[in-house]
Amino acid sequence: MSLACSSLAAAIGRQIRLRREQRGMSAAELSRRAGLAKATLSGLESGRSNPTIDTLEAVAVALAVPLTDLLVQRDQGAVQVVRATDGDESGPHRELLRRVSGGHQVEIWRLRLPAHSGFDGVPHAPGTLEQLMVAAGRLSAGPSGEQVELGAGDLLAFAGDVAHSYRTTSEAADVTVVLASPLIG
Amino acid sequence: MSLACSSLAAAIGRQIRLRREQRGMSAAELSRRAGLAKATLSGLESGRSNPTIDTLEAVAVALAVPLTDLLVQRDQGAVQVVRATDGDESGPHRELLRRVSGGHQVEIWRLRLPAHSGFDGVPHAPGTLEQLMVAAGRLSAGPSGEQVELGAGDLLAFAGDVAHSYRTTSEAADVTVVLASPLIG
DNA sequence: GACATACGTTCATTTTACCGAACAAATCGA
DNA sequence: TCGATTTGTTCGGTAAAATGAACGTATGTC
């Protein structure tokens, strides 16, 4: 067991402990289900060791999560806006707006709102992430009470499991919606 | 070095070798960049060992790939186009364009191409599905040899693990790209 | 209270992943 | 043609990951 705890191993350890406690599972029980020694899991969760992928996979299977979910900190459903970048039209431009890790079903919707219209979104399954890309126009969108003004090219991401709505004023809007819903085992 | 090569380790090994060869990098060079012994990489690519996350991370960094990209597996998808619906502007309009089931990691990119420009997309991890939503303009996109003409509001979906490209002619284009990568686990 | 069980951690021991060196084969340049 | 370099693999040694047992602690039962 090394003492040079890599930050990655520590993050993974926190992740595992978090998931385990979310399920109300004891460390002993998880180690039993994963076919690992209690000591292994202990050192793993405390970030004191540098686990093998086989070990990680066993834990992932026992926790019923995709392996990659253990490798990144869980994306919290905070509201986040990525503003359209200025039109630097000198050449092709590519930009990563957002990354959602593992274990999701993906739905892509097209949303078209005439001027002075809108509707309330149905709250989706718990854990669902909703991301809006504004193709054209202007609208105000987001969870009730946290509405954000958006223009063409903007991206808005928020937890889709609460009440939310979309509303246009003087201008129509054309929006692409990507829903990422966690899979229920 | 164990002989009980786990299928996961073997898959990861294939993945690493694939990425390395795509970059025209020798195993010796990759091991140097990753700060690993040649022997380590050799056993890793051949699926004969059970790598540590630290080792995998070093390889991922040296290959300039997210760590999770080394954990994906192959799954083909066909090229599919959903044309923009006619602008029936009588009221708010919502339309499901596409659903991708299963555990996926999602990336959302913004792509901006001036007129008469274009570039080749790097082949993504095997099994990756790429879907393009055209926010504005016109472009020709898709796998090499299966290029499709797209206009504003169109959606194109295809397997992103092959060579593909995007190209505009007289008109600029603004595109949202959603990448869905399947996961092992 | 006394006992039993389950929890999470720490301790030797075994297993093995990583390393460095040596190796044959292939490639390159003079 | 020859030497020099680079390639990918195989071989002991070492550090450390995983193991199983034992530990102190907490919780529950009679």
Look at residue A99 in the predicted model and tell me its pLDDT. 55
Average pLDDT value for residue range A65-81: 58
Average pLDDT value for residue range A65-69: 76
Q: What are the distances in angstroms from CA B63 to CA A35, B18, B29, B72?
A: 33, 11, 11, 15
Residues A133 and A169 in one domain: yes
A177, part of any domain? yes
In this structure, what CATH number is given to the domain that contains residue A138? 2.60.120.10
Strand C: which residues have Cβ below 7 Å from it? Answer: A 26-29, 38-39, 42-43, 45-46, 52; B 1-2, 4, 35-40, 43-44, 49-52, 54-55
Residues A60 and A89 in one domain: no
Look at residue A35 in the predicted model and tell me its pLDDT. 92
Residues A118 and A34 in one domain: no
Q: Which amino acid is at A11?
A: A
Read off the tokens for A17.
């402990």
The answer, yes or no, to whether residue A29 has pLDDT greater than 60, is yes
> Which one has a higher pLDDT value, A3 or A57?
A57
Mark yes or no for CB contact B56/A53 under 8 Å. yes
Look at residue B73 in the predicted model and tell me its pLDDT. 47
Task: Please provide the DSSP assignment of chain A as one string.
Answer: --SS--HHHHHHHHHHHHHHHHTT--HHHHHHHHT--HHHHHHHHTT-S--BHHHHHHHHHHHTS-GGGGTS-------EEEPPPP--TTS-EEEEEEEEEEEEEEEEEEEEE-TT-EEEEPP-STT-EEEEEEEEE-EEEEETT--EEE-TT-EEEEETTS-EEEE-SSS-EEEEEEEEEEPP-
Question: What would the pLDDT profile of A82-116 be if each residue is shown by its tens digit?
Answer: 455 444 434 454 555 555 555 566 777 777 788 88
Look at residue A108 in the predicted model and tell me its pLDDT. 74
Q: Which of B50, B67, B133 sits opposite A54 (nearest CB)?
A: B50
Residues A44 and A93 in one domain: no
Look at residue A184 in the predicted model and tell me its pLDDT. 43
Burial class (CB in 10 A: 0-12, 13-18, 19+), A6: middle
B61, part of any domain? yes
Percent of chain A with pLDDT over 90: 15
A2, part of any domain? no
Could you give the count of Cα atoms lying within 13 Å of A145 in the half-sphere of its Cβ?
2
B24, part of any domain? yes
Task: Name the pLDDT band for A73 (thresholds 50, 70, 90).
Answer: very low
Q: How many domains does chain B have?
A: 2
B75, part of any domain? no
A1, part of any domain? no
Range of the domain at B158: 80-85+97-182
Q: How many CB atoms lie within 10 A of CB A136?
A: 18
Each of the 185 residues of chain B gets a pLDDT tens digit; together they read 554 446 788 889 988 888 888 778 888 999 999 999 989 999 999 999 999 999 999 998 888 777 877 875 433 334 444 454 444 444 454 555 455 555 567 777 777 788 888 777 767 766 677 888 888 888 998 888 788 888 887 778 888 777 788 888 888 888 888 887 765 54
How many helices and strands in chain B, by DSSP H and E? 4, 9
Question: Does the CB of A142 sit below 7 A from strand D?
Answer: no
Q: Characterize the bridge pairing of strands B148-150 and B173-182.
A: unpaired
Q: Which residues of A touch B184 (CB under 8 A)?
A: 66-67
Q: Note the Cα A126 to chain centre separation in Å.
A: 12
Residues A102 and A26 in one domain: no
Domain boundary among A15, A49, A70: A70
Read off the tokens for A27.
């460390």
Q: Which of A147-156, A163-172, B19-28, B116-125 is the least confident region?
A: B116-125
Look at residue A56 in the predicted model and tell me its pLDDT. 93
Read off the tokens for A149.
């003004």
Task: Name the pLDDT band for A74 (thresholds 50, 70, 90).
Answer: very low
Look at residue B22 in the predicted model and tell me its pLDDT. 77
Which residue in A109, A139, A175, A112 sits closest to B89, CA to CA? A112
Residues B106 and B175 in one domain: yes
Question: Does the CB of B6 sit below 7 A from strand D?
Answer: no
Residues B62 and B102 in one domain: no
Question: Does the CB of A2 sit below 7 A from strand D?
Answer: yes
Look at residue A91 in the predicted model and tell me its pLDDT. 47
Task: Name the pLDDT band for A44 (thresholds 50, 70, 90).
Answer: very high
Residues A39 and A125 in one domain: no
Q: What is the distance in angstroms measured between the alpha-carbon CA of B37 and the sugar C1' of D6?
A: 15
Task: Please provide the DSSP assignment of A27-44 as one string.
Answer: HHHHHHHHT--HHHHHHH
Nucleotide with the nearest C1' to A1 CA: D16
Mean pLDDT (chain A, rounded): 76
Look at residue B72 in the predicted model and tell me its pLDDT. 59
Which residue in B88, B84, B81, B98 sits closest to B152, CA to CA? B84
Residues A90 and A176 in one domain: yes
Question: What would the pLDDT profile of A3-21 be if each residue is shown by its tens digit?
Answer: 444 678 888 998 888 888 8
B92, part of any domain? no
Instruction: Kindly give the residue spans of alpha helices, DSSP state H, lying in B35-111.
Output: 38-45, 53-63
Q: Which residues of B touch A183 (CB under 8 A)?
A: 102-103
In this structure, what CATH number is given to the domain that contains residue B36? 1.10.260.40
Residues A120 and A138 in one domain: yes
Residues B63 and B133 in one domain: no
Taking CA–CA distances from B13, the nearest residue in chain A reads A53
B48, part of any domain? yes
Q: How many CB atoms lie within 10 A of CB B26?
A: 11
Closest residue to C6 measured CA to C1′: A28
Q: How many CB pairs under 8 A join A and B?
A: 203
Average pLDDT value for residue range A160-184: 79
Residues B53 and B113 in one domain: no
- Given a contact cutoff of 8 angstroms between Cβ atoms, the answer to whether A172 and A134 are in contact is no
Q: Which of B50, B53, B68 sits opposite A12 (nearest CB)?
A: B53
> Which one has a higher pLDDT value, B153 or A74?
B153
Spatial separation of the C-alpha atoms in residues A105 and A128, rounded to whole Å: 9
